[in-house]
Structure 1
Amino acid sequence: MISRLPGLSLPERVWNTARRWAVAWWRILYLGAVVLVLVLSPSSYGKGTRRALARHLYLDTAPVLLGFTVLAALISLVLTRIVVVTALSYGLSRYALEMVIRVLVLELIPLTAALFVAMRCTIPNGAQLSRLRQAGRFDALRSQGSDPVRIELLPRVIAGVFACVTLAALSCVVALVLAYLGVYGFNMAGLSGYTRMFGQVFSPSVTMVFVLKTLFFSLAVALIPMAAGLYDSGERAQPDSELGGLARMFAVLLLIETASLMGNYY
C-alpha cells in the first residue's frame, strides 16, 4: 500500500514507499549476516550470553511444545481419516497414505510450526526488543562496553530457530506414527510396506528440500520480527510498523513454500 503523506505527489509517495521497503529488506539481510557471524563466533557464548540463551530456549520451546504436539496430532488424525475414506470411495486406497505424508509432513506441519512459533514467540520477542531499545537498554549496554545485539538479540534469534525446528521435527514424528495407526491400526502387518513407501516419498532430493525449507522457515520467523524491533524506519511520521514486519515475514514464507513445491514436484 502506498502511504499517503500530506503535501507529496504520487511519484514522491511511490518513491518513499519503495525506499522504505528496500531499506527494510536490506536491514533484514544485514542482520542475518551479523547473526550468522555471531553464531559462529566463540566469543558470543560468554557466561551472561549462555544464561540468557538457556532462558530463551526454555521459554520459547517448553511452554508451547505440548500444545503444538497435541494440535499436530489432532490435525494428523482428522486429515488421515478424511484422505483414507475419500481414497477408499474412489478405489485409490494404495495412494492414501502417501498422500497424507506428502501433504501433512512435507508441507503442512513445517509451515504450521513456523507460523505458531512466530505468533507465540518471535513476534512478541521483537516487540519486547523494540521496547528495550526505546527504554534505553541498548544505550546502557553500549556505555558498559557490551554489544546489545550479542546480549539481547542473538539469544532470541537462536531460541526462535530452535523452537521452530524442534516443533516441526517432533510433530512430523507424531504425524508419521498416527498416520500409520490410522490406516493399519495397532499391529505390525503394514510396517514393511509403510517403511518402503516412506523411503519412496523421502528420496534424497525431497529430504534435502524438506530440511532446507524447515531451516529457512525458522530463520525467517526468527530474524524478520527481530529486525522490525531492532531498527527505526528513520522517519517519525512513518515508523516501521509491526504490520510491515508481518507482511515481509509472510512474503518470505510464501516464497520459500513456492520454491519447495517447485523443487519437489517440477
Structure 2
Amino acid sequence: MAELLSQSFPAIRQRGPWGLWLRSKRLLLFSAQIALALLSPRFHQAPLYQRTAQVLCSSAWQTLTSYLLACTLISAVLTRLVTVSAASYGLSHLALEGVLRVFVIEILPLAATLFVATRAVPPALRHFAQASVRRQATLADVLPCVLGNATAVLVLAVFAGILSLVVAYLVVHGLSPWALPAYGRLIGQVFDPVLSLVLLSKIVWFGLAVGLAPTTAVLETQQTPASLEMRIMVRLLFALLLVEVFFLALRLF
C-alpha cells in the first residue's frame, strides 16, 4: 500500500526561525521526492498518463487557441513598436534581435507560467486543501498535477515562442521570402546552444513550480483553506521570482 504523504511529512508545530527552517526543509524534501517519483518507472503507468492528460487538457489545451491569439496580437504590436522606435534612432538592424531577446526569451515563458498558474492552481489547490484529501493523499495522487501543469507551461511557452518568431518576421518583412536566410541566421545567433539550454531549463523550472505549488497543500494539515490558499500563492510567486533571478544571474555570468 502506498505511504500517505501526511505520514511521510508530519505537521510541524514549532514557531519562529526554527519552525520556518523545519518547514522549508520539509518542503524541499517533498519536492525532491516528487522529482524522484517522476523519474521512477514504477509510477509511469496508464493511470498516471490518463490523469495527466486530463490536467493538461484543462490547463492548456482548452484555451490554447485563445492564448495563441493573444500572443499573436501582442507580438505583432510589440514588434511594430520596437521596429518603428528603432528606425527613428537609426537602429532598425537591432529591432528584431531586441524583440527576440526580450519578448520571446524573457516575457513569453513568464506569461505562459502565469497563465497556467491562474487557470490551474486555484482548482487544484481547492482540491488538495480538502481535509480528507490532505489526510489520504499519496504520491500517485499529486504526480498528475505536477506533470500535467509542468507540461502545460512547456507547451504554451514553446508554441507561443514559435508563433512569435513567425509574427515578428511577417511584421518586419511581410510575405517576402528574400529575408528568410538572414532571419534564420539571426535566430541561430540569438538561440545559440547555451541560451537554448538555459531557456528550456527555465521553462521546465517554471512548470515544476506551478505544478508543485498546489500539491504542497497536503503538507499543511493545520491551516484553514483561506489562509492556505494565500500562503501557497505567495510561495509560488516567491519560487518564480527565485527561478527568474537565478537564470538572469546565470546569463550575466
TM-score when scaled to structure 1? 0.82
2:179 partner amino acid: G
1:199 aligns with 2:199: no
Match of 1:114? 113
Aligned partner (choices 186, 196, 204) of residue 175 of structure 2: 186
Match of 1:44? 43
Higher mean C-alpha deviation, range 26-35 or range 167-176: 26-35
CA–CA distance in structure 2, aligned partners of residues 124 and 25 of structure 1: 24
CA RMSD of aligned residues (A): 2.2
Aligned partner (choices 105, 125, 149) of residue 160 of structure 1: 149
Aligned partner (choices 231, 242, 246) of residue 259 of structure 1: 246
1:251 partner amino acid: F
Q: CA deviation at 1:239?
A: 8.2
Q: CA deviation at 1:49?
A: 3.2
Post-superposition Cα deviations, 1:166-217, rounded to whole Å, max 9, x if no partner, equal 0000000001000111110011121111111111111222112111111111
2:192 partner amino acid: S
Which aligned pairs between 1:1-266 and structure 2 lie closer than 5 A? Answer: 16-19=15-18, 21-131=20-130, 134=131, 136-137=132-133, 148-227=137-216, 229-232=217-220, 234=222, 241-266=228-253
2:127 partner amino acid: Q
Q: CA deviation at 1:20?
A: 5.0
Report if the CA contact (8 A) 1:49-1:150 is conserved.
no
CA–CA distance in structure 1, aligned partners of residues 149 and 138 of structure 2: 15
Q: Secondary structure of 2:129's partner?
A: helix
Q: Secondary structure of 2:178's partner?
A: coil
CA–CA distance in structure 2, aligned partners of residues 18 and 73 of structure 1: 47
Higher mean C-alpha deviation, range 95-104 or range 41-50: 41-50
Report if the CA contact (8 A) 2:128-2:214 is conserved.
no
The 1:207/1:241 distance shift into structure 2, 3 A limit, reads same
Report if the CA contact (8 A) 2:52-2:144 is conserved.
yes
Unpaired runs of 5+ residues, structure 2, are 1-13
Q: Secondary structure of 1:96's partner?
A: helix
Post-superposition Cα deviations, 1:68-118, rounded to whole Å, max 9, x if no partner, equal 111211110111011011001111000000000001111000011111111
Unpaired runs of 5+ residues, structure 1, are 1-14, 143-147
Structure scoring higher RCO (CA < 8 A, sep ≥ 6) equals 2
Match of 2:7? none
CA–CA distance in structure 2, aligned partners of residues 42 and 157 of structure 1: 16
Post-superposition Cα deviations, 1:130-189, rounded to whole Å, max 9, x if no partner, equal 12xx1x2465xx6xxxxx323321111110101000000000000100011111001112
Q: CA deviation at 1:19?
A: 4.5
Report if the CA contact (8 A) 2:150-2:207 is conserved.
yes
Size of the aligned set, in residue pairs, is: 240
Q: Which has the larger radius of gyration?
A: 1
1:254 partner amino acid: L
1:57 partner amino acid: L
Q: CA deviation at 1:17?
A: 4.9
Report if the CA contact (8 A) 1:84-1:93 is conserved.
yes
Match of 2:10? none
